[in-house]
Amino acid sequence: QKEVEQNSGPLSVPEGAIASLNCTYSDRGSQSFFWYRQYSGKSPELIMSIYSNGDKEDGRFTAQLNKASQYVSLLIRDSQPSDSATYLCAALWGKLQFGAGTQVVVTP
Amino acid sequence: SAVISQKPSRDICQRGTSLTIQCQVDSQVTMMFWYRQQPGQSLTLIATANQGSEATYESGFVIDKFPISRPNLTFSTLTVSNMSPEDSSIYLCSVAQGYQETQYFGPGTRLLVL
């Protein structure tokens, strides 16, 4: 059974701080990992994809992949109230397998 | 990324009835997917719909309950048949594009079955 695990939260982060989200996956066969953001009542929106070990930065977002340890993380720098959402980690094993999502709450 | 629309955006239905959800994409895509997201839950794949072939259903989902059509490379429908309150969910279509089959989601259809 291929699984993606995330802490459901909520993760409370002061405005301006760094939010750190973690995700582990069960099978080394995946080569593609994704982070989606989902606002309440909205559909998931792709914010980052990562395929190689190391860091990938896009604006205030940094994704980190460590295939040896089978984890993916997402850092959100200078967190804003508009970052308050559920963040879904997903791994591609033929089909896309989602974690349960981590709720992030940015407090002013 | 592709622009994806879904109709209806929401609906309230009576048990025992059926609802057909439409998904339209602004560009041709090979792979389209239908997901269900129950309240407070993550996404669960219902089926993969490729043009020119029968949809492939995931464990726990059957064609009689969730028939899917894929008449061309820009359109698909999902029907939720003989609905019960347990079918109350958000139904999402997605398409795979580009490198490593990145998936992009439509806005979703919010279904409430009474």
Q: State whether residue A8 sits within 8 Å of chain B by CB.
A: no
B106 and A95 within 8 Å at the Cβ level: the answer is no
**Nearest Cα to Cα of residue A6 among A102, A94, A86:** A102
pLDDT at residue A22, as a whole number = 96
| Selected residues 36-95 of chain A with any CB under 8 Å from a CB in chain B | 36, 42-46, 49, 51, 88, 92, 95
Among chain B residues, CA nearest to A38: B42
Q: CA B12, B104, B46 angle in degrees (round to 5)?
A: 55
Please tell me the distance from the alpha carbon of residue B57 to that of residue B24, in angstroms, as a whole number. 20
Question: CA-to-CA distance for B10 and B85, rounded, in angstroms?
Answer: 15
Residue B82: its pLDDT value, please? 98
Which runs of E-coded beta strand occur in B1-101?
4-7, 10-13, 19-25, 31-37, 44-50, 56-57, 68-72, 75-80, 89-97
pLDDT tens by residue, B18-33: 999 999 999 999 899 9
Cβ-Cβ contacts under 8 Å, B42 against chain A: 88, 98-101
pLDDT digits (tens, 9 = 90+) for A89-100: 999 988 899 999
Rounded Cα distance between B49 and B34, Å, is: 8
The tokens describing B68, both together, are 């899917």
Whether the link from the prior residue into A14 is cis, omega within 30° of 0, is no
Residues A47-88 pLDDT 10s: 999 999 999 999 999 999 999 999 999 999 999 999 999 999
The Cα angle at residue A103 between residues A97 and B1, in degrees rounded to 5 = 55
CB A33 within 8 A of CB A99: no
Average pLDDT over residues B41-47: 95
Closest chain A residue to B95 measured between Cα atoms?
A: A96
Of A32, A45, A101, nearest to B100 by CB-CB distance is: A32
Per-residue pLDDT of B54-88, as tens digits, reads 899 999 999 999 999 999 999 999 999 999 999 99
| Distant-in-sequence, close-in-space partners of A41: CB < 8 Å, separation ≥ 6 | none
Spatial CA neighbour of A5 closest among A74, A100, A93: A100
